[in-house]
Amino acid sequence: MSTLAIVILVLAALLILFLIGGLLGARRRDIELAPVYQQHLREADQALEQARAADRGWDRDVMEGVARSAISDAHPGTTIDRLDLVLVDDQPGVDRDRAHFEAHGDGRRVRVVLSRGDAGWSADQVG
């Protein structure tokens, strides 16, 4: 076997080892961040409750309905297994209020940003 072939085999082996190490590190990071994500969801729900107490336009059922409708329009046939409220941006008045949802289903995540105006909630972004 030539020297060049040995060098190529060693480099390929190192590349595979680095790839496996990176995948294991990413998985461990995801496992470690799961409790942080759950805490973030609880904080968003608490912010929604505070916003609902301050004014009456923050109805979770209405907001989820708008988010689900926007997802079905943008991604027809997508099944939503879970819809998480991840951010509540309650500004003074109603015309600058925002709510961010993250839908999980069909092996993917879809982010939906709702905004509230005089006519109620509407989808600003579906991605």
Domains along the chain with CATH numbers? 39-126 (3.10.450)
Six-digit token pair at 119?
Answer: 């006519």
- pLDDT, tens digit, 9 for 90 and up, residues 80-125: 999 988 888 878 877 888 999 999 988 889 999 999 888 889 999 9
Residue 53 has pLDDT above 70, yes or no: no
In this structure, how many other beta carbons lie within 10 angstroms of the beta carbon of residue 78? 14
pTM: 0.61
110 contacts 85 by C-beta, under 8 angstroms:
no
98 contacts 115 by C-beta, under 8 angstroms:
yes
102 contacts 126 by C-beta, under 8 angstroms:
no
pLDDT of residue 27: 82
Per DSSP, helices labelled H in the chain are: 3-54, 60-74
Six-digit token pair at 28?
Answer: 């461990």
Span 63-78, average pLDDT: 93
